[in-house]
Amino acid sequence: MTNAASSLGITNLGQIAINVHDLPRAIAFYRDVLGLPLLFAAGSMAFLDCGGVRLLLGTPDRAELDHPSSILYFRVPEIQTAYQYLLAKSVTIEAPPRLIAKMPAYDLWMAAFRDSEGNILELMSEAPRAA
């Protein structure tokens, strides 16, 4: 018996939509603060690249779609450096870097912040453990 993902041929995420209310402000945040390359803008939408996954920033076209986005976890190599960068950019911090779990090969760290539209986002870092 095959599972649904293998029968559909899904290999990875191709795009994630993030609701915004002020598109120019959101583009500036994701491009200029987070450093994601802007691929293109079309009408009430903009598309940025996040390591091969497109982020669609767009204004909701129906009331039932007007809600905060899912939490996106952006992987960074060193969380304290990334956290200090966000502070220097005056980004609203929800939770400073905190140890989430000690894994056999690494420690999982996360830090929560808000984007320009009030959506909660997280930084995550898998810090290698000393042998």
- Which domains are seen in the chain, by residue range? 12-67 (3.10.180.10), 70-131 (3.10.180.10)
Q: Residue 25 gets which letter from DSSP?
A: H
- Average pLDDT of the chain is 91
Q: What confidence score (pLDDT) does residue 73 get?
A: 93
User: Higher-confidence residue: 1 or 100?
Assistant: 100
pLDDT-based confidence at residue 94 (cuts at 50, 70, 90): very high
pLDDT tens digit sequence for 12-71: 889 999 999 999 999 999 999 999 999 999 999 999 999 999 999 999 888 888 888 889
Q: What confidence score (pLDDT) does residue 100 get?
A: 95
